[in-house]
Structure 1
Amino acid sequence: MPWQAGVSLLVLVCAGLLAHRYWPLIEEGAGRLAVADRGWLLVAAAATLAAWACSALAQQGAVPEPLPPGRLVAVQFAASSANQVLPAGLGASAVNLRFLNRCGLSVARSATALAVKACAGTVARGCLIAGLALACPGALRLPRMPTAARTVAVWTVAVVVVAVGGALLAGRLRRAVRHVLRDVRAVHELPARAAALWGGSLACAALHAAVVIAVTQAIGLPLAPARVALAYLVACSAAVLLPTPGGLGSMEAALALALTLAGAPGGAAASTVLGYRLLTVWLPLVPGLLTLGVLIRRRVL
């Protein structure tokens, strides 16, 4: 949509300006990553691979019908690459929607299954944030904001809450919510599916946090793993609010800021962000797009 493209372009321009301003810091982070411990980087790569399997497990848990496991994992891998070229997660959603439709689910039920998985992922991430926040009090210090900025932020949140509440009262969306709740009940009537949905969602979020932790260990960042995980989960939740392709720009800025607020030096935070994005986005991008092409040629999608 035009407004999404405009917001994405604005965020990318701001990210480019920030990168230009802090280029020496980025160069320092890249240099530190180049001499990082290879063993910990292999651990981070293994956690990245396991995260795709857990994403497939969560997607299976969102539908009562059995899905072909090998193709399901391949679809998650391809979807992660497709997600880097479309804003706000549309790439991954489109790939998974088409796959579920090919597996015999209607378009409406496929969309509902994606909504169930997304809701479970959000709740799982929120539970992890709450648990880590209780375990590490004061781990994240919010930056000081001027009174005017604080007022604007409060009013923005209030407007968003009112808009979401008004949308939920609309008839069409209310019917969609009823369909989602009906499918949630159907899934939770099968204990194996419920365990797959929640276990896969929790494990996927935890493994992505483990990737960041492993990168910090590889570069020798003296920061507690729990604080690093909390910083990542908060940054990930904040980056979702900006509809850039794959969180490009927004995720980097949010994660770097969260790590800095947690106590990491600027160069170490830049190294961590570069390592995490390299392992989860840039290295798998071309293989994932090739997998996507193979799945399309074989009519899996």
Structure 2
Amino acid sequence: MSTTIAPPGRGATTRRPRVTDPVPERAPGAGRSRTRRWLRVLAVLVVAGVAVWFLARELPSWSVLAAAFQRVDLPLLGVAAAVETFSLWLFTRQQQVLFAGFGVRVPVAPAVGITYSRSAMSMTFPAGSVASAAFAVEQFRRFGASRSTAATVTVLSGVVSVVGLCCLYALGAIAQWALPRPWQAITVVTVALCVIVPLARRRARHTRHPKATPPLPARPLGRVATVVRARLSDVATLPGRYWAAGIGYATANWAADLACLLITCAAFGVNVSMTQIGVVYLGIQLLRQIPISPGGIGVIETSLVAGLTLLGADNATAAAATLGYRLLSCWLVIPIGLAAWLALTRLARRHPRSPVESSTTWSSSETRRGPTPTP
């Protein structure tokens, strides 16, 4: 059976095809970007609300604060600002050392930008620690780190920071015990070195090779357990010198931040001993781990003012010293971190990751004989 198509002419109409506008396809990340935008707006509103509440309820009158700021020692406050900047640089070095242990070299300038950006995110977003960690993982992948290595180092950096804070207070307790007893302290240090140094050399002679990662099982819980075991195996094969360097930089980072608080208190004339301020600082750092507000804004200020006041400082002087310390350690970091985030974003657009870099993996055993990328 054949179908005859009439030629165009009388009695026949030619239909022209309708030209319709193509339906625009929705970008895969459009919904997520809109959600992130609203989350950022919400974070800014939360920070502004907490700041207004703190200024209205906890601080003394503006005239009293202005008088306290007029009596501040500006050179000492400048020293405190330099010490806080040095503290952030020490955190940058901590990140670089841990990545070097896995064979990844991160240049200084991008590493500093990542540090300031992460600090600004953790102080601004409601879930700032999670957002800053995810941002760090994506940024460090641009320098040859695989996603698993970047995630491992990011988590390991948090562990090293906690160990560094414990080491700082352990060293403080040892110093308080050792200063009145110099000869006993020298004897204890000598005996400890005689025991630790031979053990460290013996450990360095035995090279541990990581086991091959087994294939992922079918069950989700089994996959998670296998990935966790693989990450722990990578951490266990990290050479001891990188552990020591990372913990050393973390301890120095906490010490510099505490020194910034001490110098700021001295600049505003707070008559409180160093030991008492150190105890208040430890309580603030423990309270900071509770995600009550972004970056602890409002909570840390209130706690620090209350702690210094209970230790005998004047309310206006304690409030002025608190504002000065938070200005140097938090509020000024946010605009600098925003500028660093914009610079890193522009750099990532100009120099995107190549396919080789994005799929590069590093193993700890290859680190000892030189980093060799394995696709």
1:77 matches 2:128: no
Structure 2 match to 1:146: none
What's the offset of the Cα at 1:53?
1.1
Structure 1 match to 2:22: none
What's the offset of the Cα at 1:70?
2.6
What's the offset of the Cα at 1:183?
3.2
Q: In proportion to residue count, which structure has more helix?
A: 1
Q: 1:216 to 1:105 in 2, by over 3 A?
A: same
After superposition, give the CA deviation of every residue in 1:220-249 in whole Å (9 maximum; x if it has no partner).
111122321331132022122124222212
1:236 matches 2:272: no
Structure 2 match to 1:264: 313
Structure 1 match to 2:250: 201
What's the offset of the Cα at 1:291?
1.8
Given the alignment, which residue of 81, 86, 94 partners 1:45? Answer: 81
Q: 1:69 to 1:245 in 2, by over 3 A?
A: same
> Aligned partner of 1:106: which letter?
S
The alignment's TM-score, normalised by the length of structure 1, stands at 0.75
Question: Which SS does the other structure have where 1:198 is aligned?
Answer: helix
After superposition, give the CA deviation of every residue in 1:146-203 in whole Å (9 maximum; x if it has no partner).
xxxxxxxxxxxxxxxxxxxxxxxx867655653443233232x151x22331111111
Contact between 2:94 and 2:249, CA under 8 Å: does it hold in 1? yes
Given the alignment, which residue of 92, 106, 111 partners 1:56? Answer: 92
Given the alignment, which residue of 220, 232, 235 partners 1:181? Answer: 232
Q: Give the distance between the partners of 1:7 and 1:286, measured in 2 at CA.
A: 15
1:100 matches 2:140: yes
Q: Give the distance between the partners of 2:125 and 2:143, measured in 1 at CA.
A: 24
Which has the bigger relative contact order, CA under 8 A and spacing at least 6?
1
Q: Give the distance between the partners of 1:61 and 1:196, measured in 2 at CA.
A: 7
Consecutive unaligned residues in structure 1, runs of 5 or more: 138-169
Structure 2 match to 1:143: none
Q: 1:119 to 1:17 in 2, by over 3 A?
A: same
Deviates more, 1:33-42 or 1:22-31: 22-31
Contact between 1:83 and 1:246, CA under 8 Å: does it hold in 2? yes
Deviates more, 1:20-29 or 1:46-55: 20-29
Question: Which SS does the other structure have where 1:84 is aligned?
Answer: helix
Q: Give the distance between the partners of 1:135 and 1:26, measured in 2 at CA.
A: 40
Aligned length: 266
After superposition, give the CA deviation of every residue in 1:63-99 in whole Å (9 maximum; x if it has no partner).
2222222321222123222323213423432332122
Q: 1:293 to 1:238 in 2, by over 3 A?
A: same
After superposition, give the CA deviation of every residue in 1:3-30 in whole Å (9 maximum; x if it has no partner).
x999998898677545423342676345
Question: Which SS does the other structure have where 1:24 is aligned?
Answer: coil
Deviates more, 1:253-262 or 1:47-56: 253-262
Structure 1 match to 2:28: none
1:86 matches 2:135: no
After superposition, give the CA deviation of every residue in 1:10-65 in whole Å (9 maximum; x if it has no partner).
89867754542334267634541343101111111111111111011111222222
Q: Give the distance between the partners of 1:53 and 1:14, measured in 2 at CA.
A: 29
Contact between 1:244 and 1:250, CA under 8 Å: does it hold in 2? yes
Structure 1 match to 2:364: none
> Aligned partner of 1:294: which letter?
A
Structure 2 match to 1:126: 166
Q: Give the distance between the partners of 2:301 and 2:230, measured in 1 at CA.
A: 36
What's the offset of the Cα at 1:100?
1.4
> Aligned partner of 1:40: which letter?
L
Structure 1 match to 2:31: none
1:219 matches 2:236: no
Q: 1:17 to 1:280 in 2, by over 3 A?
A: closer
Contact between 1:55 and 1:201, CA under 8 Å: does it hold in 2? yes
The alignment's TM-score, normalised by the length of structure 2, stands at 0.61
Contact between 1:58 and 1:196, CA under 8 Å: does it hold in 2? yes
Return the index of the structure with the highest Cα Rg: 2
Contact between 1:82 and 1:91, CA under 8 Å: does it hold in 2? yes
Q: Give the distance between the partners of 2:81 and 2:98, measured in 1 at CA.
A: 26
Given the alignment, which residue of 157, 161, 172 partners 1:117? Answer: 157
